[in-house]
C-alpha cells in the first residue's frame, strides 16, 4: 500500500470539498453495486457527474472534442479549392532567410 505524505494530503484536502447527500437506501445499494462492477467508487461516480453537470468536462472529453474540431477544420481546408496551405518550413522562412543574406 502506497502511503500519502502530509504535503500531498494537505493539498488534496485544500482542493477537494466534501459534500453530504441523502438518497433512498435502495438507490444507494444499487449505485454502489453498479460502481463496483465498473471498478470505481460511488464517490468517483458522483464526482464525474457533478463535473459534467457543472460544465467542466474531464480532460478526455475535451481532448476528443478538440481532435474532432481539428479533423473538421482539416477536412474543410482540403475541400476548399485554391487552399493556401500547408507550406513546407523552408517556404515559410525563405523570406526571413533572404533578409539576412
Residue 53's pLDDT is: 79
Top-confidence residue, 15 or 83: 15
For the chain, strand residue ranges (E) read none
Q: What separation in angstroms does the CA of 36 have from each of 19, 42, 97? A: 21, 8, 62
For the chain, what is the domain count? 1
pTM comes to 0.44
In a domain, 75, yes or no: no
In a domain, 44, yes or no: yes
In a domain, 27, yes or no: yes
Per-residue pLDDT tens for 10-30?
555 567 888 999 999 999 999
Q: Give the list of residues 6+ apart from residue 52 with CB closer than 8 angstroms, or none.
A: 58, 61
Query: Domain limits at 25?
Result: 9-61
In a domain, 94, yes or no: no
Distance CA 39, CA 58 (A): 18
Amino acid at each position: 500500500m502506497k502511503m500519502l505524505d502530509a504535503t500531498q494530503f494537505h493539498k488534496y484536502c485544500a482542493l477537494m470539498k466534501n459534500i453530504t447527500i441523502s438518497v433512498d437506501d435502495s438507490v444507494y445499494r444499487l449505485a454502489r453495486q453498479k460502481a463496483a462492477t465498473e471498478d470505481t467508487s460511488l464517490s468517483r461516480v458522483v464526482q464525474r457527474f457533478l463535473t459534467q453537470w457543472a460544465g467542466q468536462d474531464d480532460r478526455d472529453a475535451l481532448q476528443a472534442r478538440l481532435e474532432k474540431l481539428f479533423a473538421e477544420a482539416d477536412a474543410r481546408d482540403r475541400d476548399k479549392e485554391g487552399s493556401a496551405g500547408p507550406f513546407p518550413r523552408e517556404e515559410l522562412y525563405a523570406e526571413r532567410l533572404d533578409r539576412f543574406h
